Every structure is written in structure tokens, then in C-alpha cells.
Amino acid sequence: MSSKIIFDILTIFPEAFESYLNASMIKRGQAKKLIDIHVHNLRKFTAGKHKKVDDRPYGGGPGMVLKIEPIVRAIDSILRNSKSKTLNSKQILNSKFKKSKTLIILFTAAGKQFNATMASDFAKKYDRIIMIAGHYEGVDERLARVLLQATSYKLQTISIGPYVLTGGELPAMVLVDAVSRHIPGFLGKEASLEEKRYGVGVPAYTRPEVFIYCGKKYSVPKLLLSGNHAIIEKWRRKTKKK
């Protein structure tokens, strides 16, 4: 399992990440150097003064499509760990990259649905995860082919649920959170992982022991006050929410 994971997020809305990635456990994980998060503004990898990242689809149709050039330039820059270079198609296909435990993801409603098993597997298999936050009517279809031929990396398409979002920024934050918590030391104790204890949905209570609202008392189950951990463990497994 990776002791540290680098997350690279390619987006046209970098400001969307400022609050979430600098708070709570994600902030602590970065401080402990267990995760490293880089948000890359795709507009910085465009040519021309207008910083255009999208264009109309060939063949007509509604909406706009994200252009391939800024995405490839951004990934090229990340993989080389150097400043971005403007590449033409011939240079891209002739590029040589050092193979590492890197995963490249495109968020799209048509992708494989992300789940807890994938989060755990990603934490074990990869030390760098590059995420492309899709937008508009999608990304130029040639991206997967170019990446495979130029870098030998296979583009993995992922969805975080059976619904459509306006962009890939929220999915990127979900994946960072879900994967990070599987890194040893991120949660402090491995036992903090719900799925390691009883699975998701275990009833939980805290103080006060009796909560009174509108004249009615709401009490903590007496069994949880017994101090008998074996019985409590059995009760939790039995009563976990399906």
C-alpha cells in the first residue's frame, strides 16, 4: 500500500477546490505528508490570448467539447515533472515517459461507478492519481487513444453515481477523500475505518445520555452503557443499517 499518494486535478474551475481541500482531515493529511494535492488550471495549458479550452463539436449538436490540446499538455507536464511544453501531435507520440504507479482518470457519467472497493484498491496500487474534471458535452474522444499510444497509460473513466453532474470537480473531491482514508496513518488508527469495523451504517450515540425535546425523552440504549464490549460488538453487528 502506498505510504503517500499524489493527486493531480485538471480543471477549468480551480477555485472550486480551495475550501474543501484546505479543511479537516484532507488538510491534516497534507500536513502529515501522506497526500499531496495539485490543482492544475487547464487554461494555463492553452495557446492564444483567449485561453480557450473548449470548442463546438464536429458534426453539430448542442453544447461545447473540451479540447484535447490543453489536457495532453497538462498531463505531459505532470508526467515529466517539469514545466509545460507546447507539443505537436508528432512530438507527443514520440515522447518517452518513465512508467510509474500512476492512474489517469476521466470523470464522466458514462464511466464505471466508483465504490469502496475501488477506493481501497487505488490506495494500494497507485502513488499518483491524475484526474480530469470533465465539463460541457464531454472531452475530445481522441484523448484515450493519444494517452495510450504516447504514454502507455490507459485512461480510466469513472462516475461517482447513477446521475449526471455539471462537472468533474465534485467527483474529484469525492475520490481524493475516499482513497486518502485508506492510506495508513491518515485516520490515525486503522480501526477508524468503518468498513474495517462493522461495515457502513452502524448506529452511533454520544452524550447526553438522555436528550429531552418537546417534553419527550430520547435515551441511549442501555446496552451501550453496560461496559460489556463483547455484547456491544455483537449488538452493533446485528443492528447495523442495511
Domain span at residue 212?
A: 199-239
Q: Are 9 and 33 within one domain?
A: yes
CA distance 226 to 220: 11
pTM for the structure as a whole:
0.84
In the prediction, which pLDDT does 189 show? Answer: 65
Q: Are 81 and 124 within one domain?
A: yes
Query: C-alpha grid cell for residue 12?
Result: 477549468
What separation, in Å, do the N-terminal and C-terminal C-alpha atoms of the chain show? 29
CA distance 105 to 176: 12
Q: Are 93 and 155 within one domain?
A: yes
Query: Strand runs (DSSP E) across the chain, as ranges?
Result: 5-11, 35-41, 54-55, 65-66, 102-113, 128-133, 156-159, 210-213, 216-219
Q: Are 186 and 70 within one domain?
A: yes
In the prediction, which pLDDT does 99 show? Answer: 47
Measured N-to-C along each axis, helices 24-31 and 169-180 cross at an angle, to the nearest 10 degrees, of 60
Q: Are 139 and 59 within one domain?
A: yes
Q: Are 119 and 204 within one domain?
A: no
CA distance 38 to 24: 17
Q: Are 178 and 231 within one domain?
A: no
Query: C-alpha grid cell for residue 139?
Result: 472531452
CA distance 220 to 224: 7
CA distance 73 to 85: 7
Q: Are 21 and 93 within one domain?
A: yes
Q: Are 161 and 85 within one domain?
A: yes
The CATH number linked to 15 is 3.40.1280.10
Q: Are 182 and 219 within one domain?
A: no
Structural domains of the chain, count: 2
Q: Are 206 and 149 within one domain?
A: no
Q: Phi and psi for 45 in degrees, rounded to 5? A: -110, 20
Cell 475550501 belongs to 19
Q: Are 182 and 205 within one domain?
A: no
pLDDT in tens, the chain (242 residues): 667 999 999 999 999 999 999 999 999 999 999 999 999 999 999 987 889 999 999 998 888 999 999 999 999 999 986 433 444 544 544 554 444 699 999 999 999 999 999 999 999 999 999 999 998 888 999 999 999 998 889 999 999 999 999 999 999 999 999 999 999 999 976 655 655 555 557 888 999 999 999 999 999 999 999 999 999 989 988 887 65
Among 9, 5, 4, smallest CA distance to 130 is for 9
Among 56, 58, 43, 7, smallest CA distance to 171 is for 7
Q: Where are the alpha helices (DSSP H) in the chain?
A: 24-31, 68-80, 89-93, 116-125, 143-151, 169-180, 194-197, 229-239
